[in-house]
Each structure stands twice: as structure tokens, then as C-alpha cells.
Amino acid sequence: MKPPPFRYSSPTTVADAVALLAEHAADDARVLAGGQSLVPLMNFRLAQPGHVIDLRRVAGLDTIRLAGGELVIGAMVRQATAERSPEVALAAPLLAEALGHVAHPPIRNSGTVVGSIAHADPAAELPAVALAMDAELTAVGPGGERRITAADFFQGPFTTALGADEILTEVRFRSFPGGHAFVEFSRTHGNFAVVAVAVLVALADGRITRSAIAASGLGGTPLRLTAAEQAWEGSTAGSAAIDAAVDAGTAGLDPAGDLHAGSATRIDIARSCLREALERATERALDRR
């Protein structure tokens, strides 16, 4: 399949990219990052932007840096670059682990971290990581710059709080000292998640002091499993705490079923992924002491 005709711009500054978005708003202008979601959608004519604004030549969007306890990843940083980055390994090992589950290496060589978050596929891995890590997205539009928390960003399947006239320039992940784990069930490795669970946990004197748990594949957006966090925080790390967190975290879930898994099966898979992630994150937190 080929896309219908569209116009193409390749700006070199964020200001020019934002101006082009405004100028071509009536043509349903869209930003192009790695193209690994937008181009297939255009080829299948599920998206028909009249104007495509390519971010590849925009200066300053391809850096990864550590800034005051935050890992800042620019909008044109490819998933493969982040996966291999020492800064990501140090400050966000949860993200590094999740990236290994995103598609296959050729896709990750082009696809960007921010593009995956912007696309907001409910079965994607990185939105759940962004939610667990209390990430913030920096958006630039005609009115200037603003920050959007991951908790506010995801509004529905493929729907976000980003305005049609805004561009994301970076994502900021808050570093979380402790244990981490990303566990996914998918039909084959490299497929989108049927269910995926991201866990961060901090321990002191054998007790769980703080945690962050989020999942993909259980609703129209990634979900923060706050009931699971509350159920085990304050408890002694171990199987009883994990049992409590698994029960609490999956109690209120009502995911829609699809071809890959019915609702009840999805909850069973979620229980299994959550248990494995809690166990692995706890072991890693214990190893770090």
C-alpha cells in the first residue's frame, strides 16, 4: 500500500517545526520521528496527514543527559541508542530492560523513545515505564513550553494530552534508587505486549518503603497499579507481601478481551507477570544493599 499524496517539510529548529504545525493545521499536519508507527498507518491509509513535518534534522533533539536526578532523553533519540546508553543503564535500568521488549532491532534502530510515548499504543511497553517512573514530557507549542506528567499525558488509546499544535522535545525520567523489573507476556518476543508490568521498589531494613507499579495491556491507557503499591508498602519483603500486592493490584481490573486474550485470561496473565516482576524487583533491591 502507498499513502495518499502529502506535503513534506524538514525543519532544522524546534521553532520552525512548531510554526509549520500551526501553518498547516488545516491539512492535519503530523510530526514524523522514527516513522515506525506513522508510516505504516499512512501506508494503510489509517492516517492521512496532508503535511508531514520531519524532526530528523531538528538540532538538539538527539541527546541523552543526566540532570539533577533526572534522565533527559531528546525526542529524536532512537530506542536502540537508549537501550545501549550507559546513562540509561545507570539512571533508568527499568527503561533499558523494557526497550529490549520493543519490537526487533531494525525497528528500534529507527523508532524513538519519545515517539513511542507520543503514539500511546495501549499495548506498548514504554508508556508503562513512563508512568511507573513519574516521567514528564516537555511540549513546545505556539504559547511556549510546558511540562506534562505521564499521569496526565495518556488519555485513551492513541490519545494524549498533547495539543495538535505542540511538539514533544524530550522526556524526563526520575531516577529511582532500588530494584526494578519489567516482565512481559506477548505472543512472540518482539510483539506488542498482551500484558506487561513495570515495577520499581525501594527497601530499608528488609521492609518495602516505596514502590511504583504500572502495566500495559489492561486498559485503554497504561495503568498505575496503586492498590498493589499500597498493599505491600510497609511490609517485610517476601512472599506474603507479594501475594498481597498481586491480589490488590488485580482485584479491580476489567480489561477488554480481544483476539489475543479474553478479559479473564488477561487478568490471569497480569497476576503472573505482576508476581514475577515483584519478585525480580525485590531480589534486585536486596542485591543492591
Ligand X SMILES: Cc1cc2nc3c(=O)[nH]c(=O)nc-3n(C[C@H](O)[C@H](O)[C@H](O)COP(=O)(O)OP(=O)(O)OC[C@H]3O[C@@H](n4cnc5c(N)ncnc54)[C@H](O)[C@@H]3O)c2cc1C
For ligand X, the binding residues (CB under 6 A) are 30-38, 40, 55, 75, 102-103, 107, 111-112, 114-116, 118-119, 121, 124-126, 162, 167-168, 190-192
Closer CB to ligand X, residue 46 or residue 67? 46
Q: Report the distance separating Cα 147 and Cα 135, nearest Å.
A: 10
Q: Which ranges of 174-262 does DSSP label H, i.e. alpha helix?
A: 226-232, 239-251
| Residue 111: φ, ψ to 5° | -60, 145
Closer CB to ligand X, residue 44 or residue 263? 44
Q: Output the smallest distance, CB 79 to ligand X, in A.
A: 6
Identify whether the C-beta of residue 206 lies closer than 8 Å to the C-beta of residue 183: no
Residue 252 burial by CB count (10 A; 0-12/13-18/19+): exposed, middle or buried?
exposed
Q: Output the smallest distance, CB 40 to ligand X, in A.
A: 6
Amino acid at 157: P
Q: Output the smallest distance, CB 71 to ligand X, in A.
A: 17
Q: Report the distance separating Cα 96 and Cα 181, nearest Å.
A: 10
Q: Output the smallest distance, CB 151 to ligand X, in A.
A: 18
Q: Output the smallest distance, CB 37 to ligand X, in A.
A: 4
Closer CB to ligand X, residue 75 or residue 241? 75
Closer CB to ligand X, residue 38 or residue 150? 38
Return the SS3 of 75.
coil
Closer CB to ligand X, residue 191 or residue 226? 191
